[in-house]
A and B are shown apart, each in its own frame.
Chain A
């Protein structure tokens, strides 16, 4: 990861392209890391299929995926968590940029950002366990959104690692069912990803 900070050396490689993060190919790291790639795309039918198709046809894996329209209804924002070494991530960014309906692509995990995933967990909760679960929820700022004699449904949002820590704590009570969204992210500070051309 260390050499990632100097990654503008080859900026010409993407001059006029849809994304900025460029990796100097002489210093590429082979270590595999998780990245969060965000795209602004045309809100057209089939765009998601183009993106997921690119991942599957080139053998890249999607760890999580979040899709939704933005405040501009003609634009959707897609956030993809994926793993790979620098070469793979560079190809993913370039191949995404190449899709005609993709307007902008950025690897948000390369700069300071806020990321969240939402999780709903149904936990077995009887007797004394109930209060213990409620205490844990307090600490994690999780909310109980449904109560039943035998179980609780708990809503929590946060980073994947926070949510997983919570899951681990719930495990001994018995997790009956759970579901989570894809991760979403925004850069911190005034920097925005917009469709405006450079």
Chain B
């Protein structure tokens, strides 16, 4: 029996175990839309902007570990997806994006809503495909899911010309297996290198675990290694929750806005054990001054290109992080580092993250209250900026996949749709988007999606009337010239005000969501309680101090010794 390309696409999604597709229709995907609402068990979430679809698929993927799927039309539909693809690519998130394309005969003719999306997304996807023959469709989709989810995960685009969706194929069979001769992501770690790593751990006197998003499936192994050998553990922004933040050996986040104690530990360690991380510039700062006392670096990563890219590594181990740790652990003898672990705990006690506890409504306090109210039992998404750093500082993440944030690309507008994606995956869990008044406006239209789909995400807008992180840099490095960062005065909501900031409460109500505004410290906790209890999509707008800064801070391109601790 003959079956159309569109039917193959929908059948393939079901066979790949896809339960939800985030998307937006258009002329070149009409055939797929004509099929997709007929499939039981496949939920379609209509977004209000294609970027939202991409970030929702991303949030869904980060929260579940399963690939997120987005479906958009050709031309502007596809180009609107690009930021989301670049975000997922930088943070190694598995996404399969289906984009419509003009009919094959029209490709290259500057047809209506034509864009060379394969060309445009080449540098921001793990791989992409243009399917020109319906006979290649099933195999291509199979390969796309395989590539997106194996090795170092990443987004994959499949561009689908309209005539391919319409074309009929006899004898359709969905392939059972996939084999790509030029792609071998399953790498067996080298036993000799693992032995060298174990020897280095045995010799080290001040070892430090440094964990990133690639170690997301390694929590128990990391805790075991840390406890067996008294090894403190720091994580990157994307590593938050992978090593439990409440563990005595956790020194939390390192880097530009990392804790003082994490950065001191990195500064003094003689052995870095890097797992699933890539020595990003926001982590290392000035490369020449990074971890100057290190004797060795053990770097475990699935991507050989991440190894020795920024920092020369003496013990590289290419392979799946969990598999490597599983093989490493039996070779590691228990060892105590009393002096080192004591030193690290002393730093931790002496230089805690803190903020003035006064009458002012400070943004850090809002995060603390959210944490208290939820007991940490929530999935937290963030936008990008100061609030993102405070969400990293004043919340203790104890489980992987509970902190969703755009680390590599730093995409403002990521958090809200990502939170919606996570809420779709986990309808019964509490999902928060910690946002700034700048970032939230970048994908605010998804309030319509949230309300329509009954996704009770809580958006906490930390409103300081500034693009706070940029303002902080202007304050510190540009002589307080607040060019382009001021969004409005507190009374900017008055008619005729020169800088008008939206009334987020009214905005929420306009979309059919709940809106709550808080301007006094004492009102924060009750408002949070109310927001959590109402069962609805809710904006909680908190009018915080205007010019609070994120501390500590190591200026860009500087070393630990130039760290500004901020508070006297």
Contact = CB atoms under 8 A, between A and B. Distances in A.
Interface in A54-98: 57, 87, 90-91, 94-95, 97-98
Contact of B123 (A53, A94, A102): A53
Contact of A97 (B119, B192, B305, B313): B305
Interface in A102-122: 102-103
Interface string B290-332: 0000000000000111011100111011110000000000000
Interface string A133-150: 000000000000000000
A181 B185 CA distance: 35
B180 interface: yes
B316 A46 contact: no
B430 interface: no
The CB with the most chain A CB atoms within 10 A, among B119, B183, B305, B317, is that of: B305
Interface stretch (A7-15, A161-169, A184-192): A7-15
A160 interface: no
A10 B317 CA distance: 9
A46 B316 CA distance: 32
Nearest to B296: A26
A112 B319 CA distance: 31
B109 interface: no
Interface string B406-429: 000000000000000000000000
Contacts of A11: 190
Given A28-B312, A100-B126, A14 B181 contact: no
Nearest to A12: B190
The CB with the most chain A CB atoms within 10 A, among B130, B309, B314, B316, is that of: B316
A140 to B, nearest CB: 40
Contacts of A32: none
A31 interface: no
Nearest to B303: A98
B312 A94 contact: no
B203 interface: no
Interface string B100-123: 000000000000000000110011
A195 interface: yes
Nearest to A96: B305
Given A17-B187, A50-B122, A53-B123, A90 B303 contact: no
Contact of B304 (A14, A53, A101, A195): A14
Nearest to B196: A12
B181 A195 contact: yes
Contacts of A50: 122
Interface residues of A, number: 33
B26 to A, nearest CB: 24
A19 to B, nearest CB: 9
A127 interface: no
Contacts of B126: 100
Contacts of B130: 45-46
B193 interface: yes
Nearest to A16: B187
B378 to A, nearest CB: 36
A41 B378 CA distance: 46
A22 B196 CA distance: 17
Nearest to B190: A12
A20 interface: no
Given A25-B312, A90-B308, A15 B188 contact: yes
Interface in B150-209: 180-184, 186-190, 192-193
A45 B303 CA distance: 25
A98 B187 contact: no
B118 A46 contact: yes
A13 B187 contact: no
The CB with the most chain A CB atoms within 10 A, among B147, B183, B319, is that of: B183
Contact of B193 (A12, A25, A45, A100): A12
B399 interface: no
A50 B123 CA distance: 8
A86 to B, nearest CB: 10
B536 interface: no
B332 to A, nearest CB: 18
Contacts of B180: 100
The CB with the most chain A CB atoms within 10 A, among B126, B304, B305, is that of: B304
The CB with the most chain B CB atoms within 10 A, among A28, A87, A94, is that of: A94
Contact of A100 (B123, B183, B192, B305): B183
A110 to B, nearest CB: 17
B268 interface: no
The CB with the most chain B CB atoms within 10 A, among A13, A14, A17, is that of: A13
Given A53-B122, A91-B309, A103 B318 contact: no
Interface string B495-519: 0000000000000000000000000
A177 interface: no
B139 to A, nearest CB: 14
B122 A13 contact: no
A128 interface: no
Contacts of B184: 16-18, 197
A15 B187 contact: yes
B467 to A, nearest CB: 28
Given A49-B122, A103-B182, A13 B305 contact: no
A95 B312 CA distance: 16
A94 B304 contact: yes
Nearest to B126: A100
Given A16-B184, A17-B318, 10 more contacts: A12-B190, A12-B193, A13-B307, A15-B319, A25-B313, A28-B312, A95-B305, A97-B305, A101-B182, A195-B181
The 7 closest A-B pairs by CB, nearest first: A12-B190, A94-B305, A12-B193, A25-B312, A13-B316, A16-B187, A103-B182
8 contacts: A10-B193, A11-B190, A17-B318, A57-B123, A90-B308, A97-B305, A100-B147, A103-B182
